[in-house]
A and B are shown apart, each in its own frame.
Chain A
Amino acid sequence: MSLEFLNAFRFMKKKSFLHNLDPRAKLVLALTYTINALLFNQIIPLLIIFLSLIPLVMIGRILKQWIKSIRGLSFLALFIIILNTLFISLSFAVAMILRIYIMVSAFSIFFLTVDPNDLALSLISMKIPYEFAFSFSLAFRFVPTIATEAQNIIDAQQSRGYEMQKKGFVNQIKNLFPLLIPLIICSIRRAFNVAEALESRAFGSTKERSYYYTIKYTLKDWIFTFCLLMFLILWIFIRIQFSLMPDWFLWRLPI
């Protein structure tokens, strides 16, 4: 079913250079790429930025999941193409798609390589109160849970004769509507359950918490952050000195 793309945001324990980095360094990565994507609306620079993500994905060994997340966006991409081509131009549409792909990929790298527990820790190290940090990491963990919940409802509806396997794009979209309300209700109920479970385990009973393990910004994190910042400065420079760039840099589609 079409919900598989939610897996694109599900963390899996793996050993790789990216996985071993500090979560904050990876947050810098996501932000750097987001800013870079927002700097330009020409195809070529955005394409270069997008392609520069691919080696990172390879290093993180998350190629399969990343491709899934990109594929999950195809519906949105279609909308962008249709609307932008109608109102502005095709090359702008392509640029916008690249922009959204860059941002989603950057954050999917972040979500795929950051352990939810580390995420809470890194938020706390940024002086965010534990309650908020915890609920953030919990929300993060909730995505796959909602996906399972949705699959249950789909199974239930289908086994009572609701036709969902009709082929065709429009049908696939239409099928998602009867799913929405039950899914929201189930998720709210699930949230109440989680709250009860937390309270029964004395969540928030003490102000000061101690931690089983802590995270550290090591040398390789500093180097990584430094490279990212150089990368960011480079692109900001290009943006400011745009007139110095060769002609092919400003290439546009004829329409």
Chain B
Amino acid sequence: MGKNGAGKTTLIRTLNGLIRPSSGDVYINSENINSKSIAELSRFVGLIFQNPFHQLFANTVEEEIKFSLKNLFLNKDELQTKTNEILSNFNLDKYRDRSPLNLSGGESKKLAIASIICRDPEILVFDEPTLGQDAQEIESFIKLISSEKEKGKTILIITHNVEFAYEYIPRTILMGNGEIIADGPTQNVLNNDFLTEKSSLILPQTQQLSLALQEIGLQGIRKNISKNDIIRYLINLLKNKTISAQEE
């Protein structure tokens, strides 16, 4: 995470060779990638662009998926079955013959992700996946990344969505001015108001709430409390209040 212009997108574009570093080296699986072509790297690193329309170019949704698979040198039958499988997995069956450029924001993002995931790279890199997505779409995205994580994939996400990161991402790296300014467990990084202010983020709502509660003198709120715990805490608090009110 980090401010706009902090260098996040530039950094991830170096990961699959779209940008070559002017100094220094990039290592993927402890291998220097300087001499590898983008196409070679795309087997290991799947990069999903911020703007899906920059990623989609084929005439139909089906061809879009096929383009990714063709470069894996499958035979014709395999290609067709794999394409069908991917399309139905991502619920894109009904758009099969539509132009990718006419899809809605959510659908086109889904297609962009599908076109990368079907190549099965070890490392998935998302640039702002939650941008412009509705709640349901974000939820299905979360399901997707957790299933990919179970398969043992490495997942790297750029986001400005504090709540999303706080809930679902275990480790956060903050960037500013092309440098890493913080790296650690998400809860430690995002609950630190000095760091969040520096990278123009806001504290997660749970942290804001617990700070506000502490300010009015309530005790017993743990540091880095989770969303569910703070809800339970508040419910208990209100229950006790109503009980004592009834007693009076």
Residues in chain A within 8 A of chain B (CB atoms)? 152-153, 155-165, 181-182, 185-186, 189
Cα of A155 to Cα of B57 in the assembled complex, Å = 11
**CB-nearest residue of chain A relative to B101?**
A189
Residues A152 and B54 in contact, CB atoms below 8 Å apart: yes
**CB-nearest residue of chain A relative to B64?**
A160
Which of B47, B56, B59, B101 is close to A159, meaning CB atoms less than 8 Å apart? B47
Where chain A touches its partner, the secondary structure class is helix
- Stretch of B65-73, B85-93, B186-194 lying at the A interface: B65-73
Residues B16 and A159 in contact, CB atoms below 8 Å apart: yes
Residues in chain B within 8 A of chain A (CB atoms)? 16, 18, 37-40, 42-43, 46-47, 49, 54-59, 67-68, 71-72, 101, 115-116, 119
Residues B58 and A161 in contact, CB atoms below 8 Å apart: no
Which residues of chain B come closer than 8 Å to A159, judged between CB atoms?
16, 18, 38, 42, 46-47, 55, 116
Which of B42, B56, B72, B115 is close to A158, meaning CB atoms less than 8 Å apart? B42
Residues B57 and A182 in contact, CB atoms below 8 Å apart: yes
Cα of A231 to Cα of B53 in the assembled complex, Å = 51
Which residues of chain A come closer than 8 Å to B55, judged between CB atoms?
156, 159
Which residues of chain B come closer than 8 Å to A186, judged between CB atoms?
57, 101
* Closest chain A CB from B198 CB (angstroms): 31
Cα of A153 to Cα of B37 in the assembled complex, Å = 16
Given A153-B57, A156-B55, A159-B16, also A165-B101 (CB < 8 A)? no
**CB-nearest residue of chain A relative to B65?**
A160
Cα of A153 to Cα of B49 in the assembled complex, Å = 11
Residues B59 and A181 in contact, CB atoms below 8 Å apart: yes
* Closest chain A CB from B73 CB (angstroms): 10
Cα of A165 to Cα of B37 in the assembled complex, Å = 6
**CB-nearest residue of chain B relative to A189?**
B101
Residues A156 and B101 in contact, CB atoms below 8 Å apart: no
Given A156-B49, A182-B58, also A164-B101 (CB < 8 A)? no
Which of A152, A153, A161, A182 is close to B71, meaning CB atoms less than 8 Å apart? A161
Q: Which 7 residue pairs are nearest across A and B when measured between Cβ atoms? A: A161-B71, A182-B57, A158-B38, A165-B37, A163-B39, A161-B42, A160-B68
Cα of A207 to Cα of B113 in the assembled complex, Å = 49
**CB-nearest residue of chain A relative to B39?**
A163
Cα of A189 to Cα of B99 in the assembled complex, Å = 12
**CB-nearest residue of chain B relative to A158?**
B38
Cα of A225 to Cα of B72 in the assembled complex, Å = 60
Cα of A153 to Cα of B58 in the assembled complex, Å = 10
Which of A152, A153, A161 is close to B39, meaning CB atoms less than 8 Å apart? A161
Given A152-B54, A165-B37, also A160-B18 (CB < 8 A)? no
Which residues of chain A come closer than 8 Å to B37, judged between CB atoms?
158, 163-165
Which residues of chain B come closer than 8 Å to A157, judged between CB atoms?
57, 67
Q: A156-B55, A161-B39, A182-B58 are in contact. List 16 more A-B contacts (CB 8 A).
A: A155-B18, A156-B57, A157-B67, A158-B37, A159-B46, A159-B116, A160-B68, A161-B43, A162-B39, A163-B39, A163-B40, A163-B71, A182-B57, A185-B57, A185-B59, A186-B101
**CB-nearest residue of chain B relative to A148?**
B54
Residues A160 and B101 in contact, CB atoms below 8 Å apart: no
Residues B119 and A161 in contact, CB atoms below 8 Å apart: yes
Interface centre among B46, B57, B68, B72 (most CB of A within 10 A): B57
* Closest chain A CB from B51 CB (angstroms): 9
Residues A160 and B71 in contact, CB atoms below 8 Å apart: yes
Which residues of chain B come closer than 8 Å to A161, judged between CB atoms?
39, 42-43, 68, 71-72, 119
Residues A162 and B67 in contact, CB atoms below 8 Å apart: yes
Cα of A161 to Cα of B65 in the assembled complex, Å = 12
Residues B42 and A156 in contact, CB atoms below 8 Å apart: no
Cα of A164 to Cα of B37 in the assembled complex, Å = 8
Cα of A161 to Cα of B46 in the assembled complex, Å = 10
Residues B49 and A160 in contact, CB atoms below 8 Å apart: no
Which residues of chain A come closer than 8 Å to B101, judged between CB atoms?
185-186, 189
6 contacts between A and B (CB under 8 A): A153-B57, A156-B49, A160-B42, A160-B71, A161-B39, A162-B39
Cα of A199 to Cα of B47 in the assembled complex, Å = 36
Which residues of chain B come closer than 8 Å to A162, judged between CB atoms?
39, 67, 71
Which residues of chain B come closer than 8 Å to A182, judged between CB atoms?
57-58
**CB-nearest residue of chain B relative to A185?**
B101
